[in-house]
Structure 1
Amino acid sequence: MSKRHLISSGSEFEKKIGYSRAVVDGKWVFVSGTTGFDYATMTISDDIVAQTDQCFKNIAAALEKAGSSLSDVVRVHYLLTRREDFEPIWPVLQKYFGDVRPACTVMVTGLVDEKMLIEIEVTARKAD
């Protein structure tokens, strides 16, 4: 039987809203939608490329706490607030996932804070 393990980023919102940055269940790691906030300073850039890079740093930190890494990601969802921001972030996506090439979905939608331009959610499967 696999044991469920909760991973926190330390964000006050996790307790307020009732979620975890990531949940580990056996070999599976489910990372919540992650934005470009720098959790140490609770600041966010107004630049889509910088936000996307910070999203990946936040996700990588959660995966590391879970005993996993970006190279274990099998599925990614990108949620963008503006369609025109997708192509400018391609180099960042290539930087982190160029060799990993997870299954991918891209959606244009509203996010809960107007400062957020992107949110990224991933599912990883730990290597044997």
Structure 2
Amino acid sequence: MTNKTTIATPDAPPAAGPYAQGTVALGFAFCSGQLPIDPKTGEVPEGVEAQTHQSLSNVAAVLAAAGAGMEDVLKTTVFLKNMSDFPVMNAIYASYFPGEPPARSTIEVARLPKDVLVEVEAIAIAGKKGG
């Protein structure tokens, strides 16, 4: 049986269902899709720019709880409500990965929870920062 640890941090929004914010196993951190919910207020900011920043900040918080940073990310998936928001999302996304960027898929979806405009999930190498 694989040793698995659940990631839970107050620095990201709590899971809104029967899933974890993330899981660590086999030396990897698997970050669940992060909605752009401010973990302090529970509010969703307006617009794709603010929502992209919030989703990526939430990803960073979950990864930090696993002892990882954005530089440890191997793969992301970005879900967009509207692919016309891709250029704005992409510019903000690039600022979170100033070195070598991870592999990524970007998918336009019909609808996301809470009718947000963006959601981001990630896989990273865990435990490099001693978290």
Same topology, TM > 0.5: yes
Q: Please state if 1:107 is matched with 2:116.
A: no
Identity of aligned residues (%): 26
Q: Which residue of 1 aligns with 2:121?
A: 121
Q: Deviations over 1:41-89 (max 9, x none)?
A: 0001111111111111111111111111111000000000011111112
Unaligned runs of 5+ residues in structure 1 are none
CA distance in 2, matches of 1:87, 1:95: 13
Q: How many residues align?
A: 125
1:2 Cα offset (Å): 5.5
1:1-128 equivalent positions in 2, closer than 5 A: 3-10=3-10, 11=13, 14=15, 17-109=17-109, 110-114=111-115, 116-126=116-126, 127=128
CA distance in 1, matches of 2:5, 2:100: 25
Unaligned runs of 5+ residues in structure 2 are none
Contact 2:24–2:66 under 8 Å retained in 1: yes
TM-score (norm 2): 0.86
1:112 Cα offset (Å): 2.2
Contact 1:9–1:39 under 8 Å retained in 2: no
> How large is the RMSD of aligned CA atoms in angstroms?
1.9
CA distance in 2, matches of 1:84, 1:74: 25
SS at match of 2:124: strand
